[in-house]
A = this chain, B = another copy of it.
Amino acid sequence: MTTSIPARADSAQLDATDPLAAHRDLFIGSETDLVYLDGNSLGRPLRSTAERLGTFVAEEWGGRLIRGWDERWFDLPRTLGDRIGAALLGAAPGQTAVGDSTTVLLYKMVRAAVAAHPERREIVVDTDNFPTDRYIVEGVARECGLDVVWITPDHTRGVTPELLAPVLGEQTALVLVSHVAYKSGFLADGPALAELTHAAGGWLLLDLSHSTGSVPLELDAWGVDLAVGCTYKYLNGGPGAPAFGYVAARHLDSGAFEQPIQGWMGAAEPFRMGPSYEPAPGIRRLISGTPPVLGMLALEDMVGLIESVGMAAVRAQSVALTEHAIALVDDVLPEVELRSPRPSAERGGHITIGHPRMREVTAALWRRDVIPDFREPDALRIGLSPLSTSFVEVEAGIRAVRDLLD
């Protein structure tokens, strides 16, 4: 349809020549007939993770007990954060920490951004952003007496510089954008959004939930102020695995970043247990309570795999998979509407297709062990995990939609 999508290649041939194909066997379920196209909701576990968790319980938790905190766990939110920063975010050490849910971290970030701009009264967010992002912004705006400035993107795309520029001004405290839009898969222009936001004097908070592990990020180079990301999608951390947060070093060093949930693990001297809260210097001030160690173990495995593969190869594979999916949709499902960008440079790791009958189609697909995601009211979302989804799996899924529409 456009030059960015190649003619459909043979799926089995693509798998046979795929340089990353060997990695699929590392994931549980790759040996089954299940067609899994929802890795952007919950990624498959690595095989190593099952054994690792059992070993952790028997040896590290059971064997070291409370000593584990001194030996490894206390620093784990930051050592793992630094690894995520280096391998995935383009972030120098000391700016990333793991813990809490994405929602709780978004709350901390939005509150911190508002507190750092006491003279400004507006938070900018888009109507197509994920519910938690919108709800957090609404709640913080209400509690702090601020206004929400809504951007309304085209549903097949997302927040562009052209949409953002007109709403920015001297009242802008914060702009919150999902770097890859959860519905359309639109990949926002991070550096351009940061530059615009900074020109207006506000901070940019990127939600990286659908970006991390699918598209390369350069948060330091782009000048992003704050970011939050999810780890149970392309980072395969398991259901409800803890999120991570990034705070640019300049806002930590200046002390401008202060978050409202003052817990002992974010205090300068946690074990002194002093009378008043004094925030830790550096990224540890993002932390509130005791870190969720069990929830970080699977994530450690996947970060290790991405470190060895490299995000450039992951992104190349992700692009190849989404291009293949779009070519198949064009070829096999002509009556369906593609609701994701066609140019690969504007697309993350998933695509969305719409049709009035998609609700019933999704239900029928699930009964056939073909598992994509459904989004209200009529959209099928196809998530392609770069290291665990095969080209054959993509084709099988799309042909199953064809069968069901017939």
List the interface of chain A (C-beta within 8 A of B): 28-29, 34, 36, 38, 41-42, 44-45, 49-51, 53-58, 61-63, 65-69, 73, 99-104, 107, 127, 130-132, 134-136, 138-139, 143, 232, 238-243, 260-265, 267, 270-277, 288-295, 298, 366, 371, 373, 375-376
Q: How far is the CA of A371 from the CA of B62 in the complex (A)?
A: 13
Contacts of A291 in B (CB 8 A): 239-240
Tell whether, in the assembled complex, residue A73 and residue B239 are in contact, meaning their CB atoms are under 8 Å apart.
yes
Q: How far is the CA of A371 from the CA of B267 in the complex (A)?
A: 25
A101 to chain B, nearest CB (A): 3
Which of the residues B51, B58, B107 comes within 8 Å of A260, measured between beta carbons? B107
Known: A38-B65, A57-B298. 13 other contacts (CB 8 A): A28-B61, A36-B65, A50-B54, A53-B294, A61-B239, A67-B371, A73-B239, A103-B290, A134-B275, A135-B262, A138-B277, A238-B294, A240-B295
Contacts of A298 in B (CB 8 A): 57, 294
Which of the residues B73, B104, B238, B274 comes within 8 Å of A100, measured between beta carbons? B104
A260 to chain B, nearest CB (A): 6
Contacts of A55 in B (CB 8 A): 50
Tell whether, in the assembled complex, residue A366 and residue B28 are in contact, meaning their CB atoms are under 8 Å apart.
no
A98 to chain B, nearest CB (A): 11
> Can you name 9 A-B pairs with beta carbons within 8 Å?
A28-B61, A61-B238, A103-B264, A104-B261, A131-B277, A135-B267, A139-B260, A240-B291, A273-B376
Q: How far is the CA of A298 from the CA of B276 in the complex (A)?
A: 34
Tell whether, in the assembled complex, residue B28 and residue A376 are in contact, meaning their CB atoms are under 8 Å apart.
no
Q: How far is the CA of A376 from the CA of B270 in the complex (A)?
A: 11
A236 to chain B, nearest CB (A): 10
Tell whether, in the assembled complex, residue B261 and residue A107 are in contact, meaning their CB atoms are under 8 Å apart.
yes
A316 to chain B, nearest CB (A): 25
Q: How far is the CA of A58 from the CA of B27 in the complex (A)?
A: 10
Contacts of A61 in B (CB 8 A): 28, 42, 45, 238-239
Tell whether, in the assembled complex, residue B264 and residue A57 are in contact, meaning their CB atoms are under 8 Å apart.
no
Which B residue's beta carbon lies closest to that of A107?
B261
Q: How far is the CA of A293 from the CA of B101 in the complex (A)?
A: 12
Tell whether, in the assembled complex, residue B29 and residue A260 are in contact, meaning their CB atoms are under 8 Å apart.
no
Contacts of A50 in B (CB 8 A): 53-55, 57-58, 62
Which B residue's beta carbon lies closest to that of A292?
B240
Given A58-B28, A239-B61, A288–B101 Cβ distance below 8 Å?
yes
Contacts of A243 in B (CB 8 A): 289
Q: How far is the CA of A338 from the CA of B366 in the complex (A)?
A: 63
